[in-house]
C-alpha cells in the first residue's frame, strides 16, 4: 500500500449534549497492513471451517449480545443519539439475525444439482475471502450484522470501516466476536480516514466491497471497486413513499405512519418520507397524522419518555433546517414543527435536535421534492386517485422501500407490481429482516443483503460439469 497521511482524530461526540466522550488516532499504514495480513490469513483458514463451527460462532455472539443488552445499547445511544429503547431493540435484532443465519444458512448454501448433458451438473457456493464493509452510523450494530452474518456463514471474513462518528460501537463489535471465539482476523475494525479507503479496495487481499451510505459515496466506491475488478453491493438511501388509499384502516395507518417517519429520529434509508394520501381520506389522515407528529416528545434519548432523540450532529441539523426553509420560502406550508429544538440540557448544551415536522404544498424546484430528507420531516401529498398515487410514488431517483395501505386485493396487486422499489410492504411499514432480501433499484443501489440472496452475493457461485 502507498503511504497515507494521518487524518484528524476519530471522535465520539454525544449528539444529545455535544460532549466529547472519546477520541482515537486513525490507523497508520503499518497498522492497516497488519489488519490486511491477518484478514488474508484468517480467510484461508475460515474457508475450510464447517457449518457447525460457523453457526456456533454466530450463536455465541448472539448470546453475548442478549446478555449485555443495556450496556451495549448505552454505547449506541450516547454515540449516535438513538433513544435507549430503540437501541436495546437494535441489539436484540442483531442477536436474532445472527441466530437466523446460524440456523438457516447451511440449507441455502447446499450444492444444487442441475440437469445437463453430462453425468452430473452442480452449482456450488464457495467463500471468496475478505469483504470490506463501509458502514453508516444510523444503525451502527444492525448495519454490520446484516453484512457480517451472511459473510461468516459463507466462510468469508470482514474488514469494517465504520462511520467516523461511531468508533466505540465498531470496536465493541470486534471485541464481541473475539470473546465469542472468532479466530484472529475474522472481524477487524479499521479506524481510518476516507483517503485510506481506495488503497484498501485495490489491495489484492480484499475480495469485495459492501457499502451503505450516500449516493455520492456509493458511486465513488463503485468506481474504485470496478477499477480493481471487485464485486460490490451498494445500499444508497431512499425517499420511500407511504401510500394511503380510501379503504385503508386509518386507526392502524396513522400510528404506523408516525413510527415509520420518526423512528431513529427519521434517520433511516427505509423510513417513510413521502406520504401520498388519496383525496377521499386526505383531510382525516392529515388531521390525525399532524396531531400525532406534533405531540411527540423530543429530548434526552436516555429518558424512557423520549420518542425522538437528537440527529447525529450539528451538520445534519443544518441540512434539515436548510431543506425546510427552502420549502417554506418557495411556498410550502409547514403544518407542524419546522424549527430547531433546544435540548434537554439547556441553551448552553443545545444538542442536535429538530422538531417533528410535516410539510405540504410541495412543488418541483423545492429541495425536499428531490433530495432525501434524513430527519423527522414528513412530506405530505394529496392525490386524486390511485393512478396519481402510483405515478407520484415512482417519480423519484430512488427505489428502496415502499408502503401501501389498502384492503382492496386488486389495488394491492397493482401496487406490488407497479411500485419501482426493491421492497413493497402492504398495510405495514418497511423494515429489514433476515428472511427477506434487502436492497433497492435506481439510485438506491445494486445488489442485496439478507436472505438467501445476501448469502450468495459474496460467494463464488461455481458451476461444475462432469462428463
Has residue 277 been placed in a domain? yes
Is 47 in the same domain as 176? yes
Is 449 in the same domain as 424? no
Is 227 in the same domain as 179? yes
Classify 146 as helix, strand or coil: helix
Is 82 in the same domain as 177? yes
**Which helix (H) or strand (E) element contains residue 232?**
strand 231-235
Number of structural domains found in the chain: 2
Is 223 in the same domain as 347? no
Contact 307, 262 (CB under 8 A): yes
Has residue 3 been placed in a domain? no
* CATH number for position 381: 3.40.309.10
The per-residue pLDDT for 1 is: 39
Pairing of strands 377-383, 357-360: parallel
Is 230 in the same domain as 310? no
| Cα–Cα distance for residue pair 187/190, rounded to 1 Å | 10
Grid coordinates belonging to 413 = 396487486
Q: Which one of 35, 94, 269, 459 is the catalytic residue?
A: 269
Is 141 in the same domain as 220? yes
Classify 465 as helix, strand or coil: strand
Residue 96 structural domain = 10-236+444-466
How does pLDDT run along the chain (467 residues), one tens digit per residue? 334 445 788 999 999 999 999 999 999 999 999 999 999 999 999 999 999 999 999 999 999 999 999 999 999 999 999 999 999 999 999 999 999 999 999 999 999 999 999 999 999 999 999 999 999 999 999 999 999 999 999 999 999 999 999 999 999 999 999 999 999 999 999 999 999 999 999 999 999 999 999 999 999 999 999 999 999 999 999 999 999 999 999 999 999 999 999 999 999 999 999 999 999 999 999 999 999 999 999 999 999 999 999 999 999 999 999 999 999 999 999 999 999 998 887 888 889 999 999 999 999 999 999 999 999 999 999 999 999 999 999 999 999 999 999 999 999 999 999 999 999 999 999 999 999 999 999 999 999 999 999 999 999 999 999 99
The per-residue pLDDT for 4 is: 42
The per-residue pLDDT for 349 is: 83
pLDDT tens-digit readout, 227-236 = 999 999 999 9
| Cα–Cα distance for residue pair 355/377, rounded to 1 Å | 8
Has residue 201 been placed in a domain? yes
pTM of the model: 0.96
Has residue 263 been placed in a domain? yes
Has residue 2 been placed in a domain? no
**Which helix (H) or strand (E) element contains residue 464?**
strand 459-466
Has residue 1 been placed in a domain? no
**How many of the other CB atoms lie within 10 Å of CB of 30?**
9
Is 382 in the same domain as 411? yes
* CATH number for position 71: 3.40.605.10
Q: Which long-range contacts (CB under 8 A, 24 or more apart) does 83-91 make?
A: 83/301, 83/306, 83/307, 83/308, 83/309, 84/301, 84/302, 84/303, 84/304, 85/304, 86/263, 86/264, 87/301, 90/139, 90/141, 90/142, 91/65, 91/141
The per-residue pLDDT for 6 is: 57
The per-residue pLDDT for 344 is: 84
Is 164 in the same domain as 294? no
Is 315 in the same domain as 454? no
Q: How many degrees, rounded to 5, is the angle at CA 379 between CA 389 and CA 250?
A: 65
Is 228 in the same domain as 305? no
Which residues fall within 8 angstroms of residue 52, CB to CB, at 6 or more apart? none
35 given a catalytic annotation = no
269 given a catalytic annotation = yes
Has residue 162 been placed in a domain? yes
Is 207 in the same domain as 245? no
b/e map of 61-94 (b: 16 or more CB within 10 Å)?
bbebbbebbeebbebbbbbbbbbbebbbbbbbbb
Has residue 5 been placed in a domain? no
Amino acid at each position: 500500500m502507498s503511504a497515507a497521511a494521518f487524518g484528524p482524530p476519530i471522535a465520539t461526540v454525544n449528539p444529545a449534549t455535544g460532549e466529547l466522550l472519546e477520541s482515537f488516532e486513525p490507523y497508520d499504514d503499518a497498522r492497516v497492513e497488519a489488519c490486511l495480513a491477518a484478514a488474508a490469513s484468517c480467510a484461508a483458514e475460515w474457508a475450510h471451517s464447517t457449518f457447525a463451527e460457523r453457526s456456533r460462532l454466530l450463536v455465541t455472539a448472539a448470546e453475548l449480545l442478549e446478555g449485555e443488552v443495556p450496556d451495549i445499547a448505552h454505547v449506541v445511544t450516547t454515540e449516535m443519539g438513538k433513544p435507549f429503547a430503540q437501541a436495546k431493540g437494535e441489539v436484540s435484532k442483531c442477536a436474532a439475525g445472527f441466530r437466523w443465519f446460524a440456523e438457516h444458512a447451511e440449507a441455502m448454501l447446499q450444492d444444487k444439482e442441475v440437469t445437463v448433458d453430462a453425468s452430473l451438473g452442480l452449482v456450488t457456493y464457495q467463500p471468496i475471502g475478505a469483504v470490506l464493509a463501509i458502514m453508516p452510523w444510523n444503525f451502527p450494530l444492525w448495519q454490520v450484522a446484516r453484512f457480517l452474518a451472511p459473510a461468516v456463514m459463507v466462510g468469508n471474513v470482514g474488514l469494517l470501516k465504520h462511520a467516523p462518528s461511531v468508533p466505540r460501537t465498531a470496536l465493541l463489535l470486534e471485541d464481541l466476536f473475539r470473546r465469542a471465539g472468532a479466530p484472529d482476523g475474522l472481524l477487524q475494525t479499521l479506524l481510518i480516514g476516507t483517503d485510506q479507503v481506495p488503497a484498501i479496495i485495490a489491495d489484492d487481499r480484499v475480495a469485495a466491497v459492501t457499502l451503505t451510505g450516500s449516493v455520492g459515496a456509493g458511486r465513488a466506491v463503485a468506481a474504485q471497486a470496478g477499477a480493481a475488478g471487485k464485486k460490490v453491493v451498494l445500499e444508497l438511501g431512499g425517499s420511500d413513499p407511504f401510500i394511503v388509499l380510501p379503504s385503508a384502516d386509518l386507526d392502524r395507518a396513522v400510528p404506523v405512519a408516525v413510527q415509520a417517519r420518526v423512528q431513529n429520529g427519521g434517520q433511516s434509508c427505509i423510513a417513510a418520507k413521502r406520504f401520498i394520501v388519496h383525496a377521499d381520506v386526505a383531510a382525516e389522515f392529515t388531521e390525525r397524522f399532524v396531531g400525532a407528529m406534533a405531540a411527540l416528545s423530543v429530548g434526552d434519548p436516555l429518558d424512557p419518555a423520549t420518542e425522538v432523540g437528537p440527529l447525529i450532529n450539528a451538520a445534519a441539523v443544518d441540512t434539515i433546517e436548510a431543506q425546510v426553509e427552502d420549502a417554506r420560502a418557495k411556498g410550502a406550508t409547514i403544518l407542524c414543527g419546522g424549527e430547531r429544538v433546544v435540548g434537554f440540557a439547556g441553551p448552553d448544551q443545545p444538542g442536535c435536535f429538530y422538531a417533528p415536522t410535516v410539510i405540504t404544498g410541495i412543488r418541483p424546484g423545492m429541495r425536499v421534492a428531490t433530495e432525501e430528507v434524513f430527519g423527522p420531516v414528513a412530506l405530505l401529498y394529496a392525490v386524486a386517485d390511485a393512478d396519481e398515487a402510483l405515478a407520484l410514488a415512482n417519480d423519484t431517483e430512488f427505489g428502496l422501500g415502499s408502503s401501501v395501505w389498502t384492503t382492496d386485493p386488486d389495488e394491492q396487486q397493482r401496487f406490488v407490481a407497479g411500485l419501482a422499489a426493491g421492497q413493497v410492504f402492504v398495510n405495514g411499514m418497511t423494515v429489514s429482516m433476515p428472511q427477506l432480501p434487502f436492497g433497492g433499484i435506481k439510485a438506491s443501489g445494486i445488489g442485496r443483503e439478507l436472505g438467501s440472496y445476501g448469502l450468495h452475493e459474496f460467494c463464488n457461485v461455481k458451476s461444475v460439469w462432469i462428463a
